Structure formats: C-alpha cells, structure tokens
Structure 1
Amino acid sequence: MEYKIDDKGLKASQFIEFVNKVWPGNYDISKTQDALSKTLNITVYDEKRLVGCLRILSDGYFFGTITELLILPEYQKQGIGSRLIQLAKENTPTMLYFGSQPGIEAFYEKNGCQRSLQSYIIEKE
C-alpha cells in the first residue's frame, strides 16, 4: 500500500469512480475537482488503484474538519482507516472535528478520537 499526503495528483475522474463504490451518487466532475483542490487529500493506493481517502478542510489556524474518510469495502478492517486517521493527526495544523456514521463510533474511539459536540446539518434547498 502506498500512502500519499496532500495528494495533488488526485483527479476528479479517479475520485468519482472510487467514491461511487462507497457512496453512489451523480457527481459533477468539475465541481469534484474544485472540491478536491480545496482539501488536504490523504490517499492510499494498492498499485495504482485508489482504495482509501481522507480529506481535511482547514483554515490553517482555528478550525479543521475531516470531510470524509472512505475505504473501499473490500479493503476495510485491514488497518487502512486507522493509518489514515494517524496521518491526519500528524499532518494538520488544527484540532479536527468531524461527524460519524451511526455504528462507526467505536472505530474512532479505538483510534484515540474523543466524542465531542453533537453534529447538526443545514440542508441546501
């Protein structure tokens, strides 16, 4: 496995193919590339295949958030997510906030993350 910190070579087409295997959707390639350019992308590849990605959005001083942590289903439970969390801790200048899907809380707690404020969303109409 090859881990890349701040993967500037991550292309929207590759990311969309990957993310559709975890969160299927109708993603716009241009908007996806713009989003990827605004985050610190920590990726993991098996050969040339993208198998995991953690993205961090930060102002560099006050606030940072993990926008998502995604691992292909067939690569889960192999330590990849734990390694990505560790790399996130080592490569961000801020405290990190993030939400968790129900049922995944134990994974984050096992990796040294502390429960904090409950998260809320404001949906775009």
Structure 2
Amino acid sequence: MDSLCEAGKLEDAAKIFSDLVLRRLEPNVKIYTILMKGLCKKGLMDEANQLLRKMENDGCSPDELTYNTIIRGYILKNDLTNASYYCDLMVSKGLKGDANTFSLLVGLLSSVT
C-alpha cells in the first residue's frame, strides 16, 4: 500500500484497504496511516480527516506517526489553524511530535508573521 500511495495510486491503495475490511481483517494503525499519508500528499485533507474519524470509530487509536502525518498535510496546505489543532490534540493525548513536523510548523509560523 505504501508504494502505491507513494506512486500516487490512491485508488489502488484504497481498494487494498477495502479488501482488508471485506475479508474481516482489521486494518491496524500502520495501514490507516499509510493511506492517510497518501491522501495528505495529494492535498485531500477532508478525506484524510474522514479516514482519521473512521480509524477512531473502528477502535484503532492514532499514534505519533498518524498525527504527524495529518499535521504535515495541513502544513503543506498552509493551513496553520488545523495544523495547530492537531498538534494540540496530539499533545493532549500524551503523544509527541517529531522534529521534522515541528520544524515545518515553525517554518509555517514564521511565514505568517
């Protein structure tokens, strides 16, 4: 799935994801995050948010990588409000951002001022 997302073949990756669900194989945090990364790279943040909600509704807790992925997606869209929201949410859940994400966030903040 990761290779398909990297190649921009989101439909193929989404089909594999759907096939896992149809076979009653529960996608894990890594599978959700891979698909979310592909959506974020394409700038499809509404879809990435829907997937995040589905993930949580399915009882799969997002981890640091999941939140860093969605934060980076918002940063790439220059959406400081949502990037900041997810940073706060991640920290409130006791998770930590990575250096890469926060350097991007600082860069976005400095471009706003």
Question: So what's the TM-score if we normalise by structure 1?
Answer: 0.36
Considering fraction of residues, name the structure with more strand. Answer: 1
Considering fraction of residues, name the structure with more helix. Answer: 2
